[in-house]
Structure 1
């Protein structure tokens, strides 16, 4: 089972990825100049979480789904730019 820090980190990342998704839906992609609005920033955070020793299978699976979502966000950003 993931410790509290891993769970908190996952839920924070998930919240921010969902916010990026909302920005895409609203068409606010070009206003995203801050590094934390970049999919690669969150991909690195997910990779660090997955590298945590003994990360739970549940968090690993949900993190993998977030990586797919980030790929879709990055694609939408490229298409709108």
Structure 2
């Protein structure tokens, strides 16, 4: 997770630099901030992770239950 945070920091610095040189109303500035927003959204999705359904939760609590058996070929 720290890897994506480092990437976000790099993109933030780059966006500020681009906007400083090309102006805050330029297309380059908008694109740079879009890249930052995309990385922040990805970090948020990674944080949320996969939620378990009720059967998965039950099997975590009761691994020996018949409903939780896994049969391999």
TM range (shorter): 0.3 to 0.5
Higher relative contact order (CA 8 A, sep 6+): 1
Task: Calculate the TM-score normalised by the size of structure 1.
Answer: 0.43
Give the number of the structure whose residues are more often helix, by fraction.
1
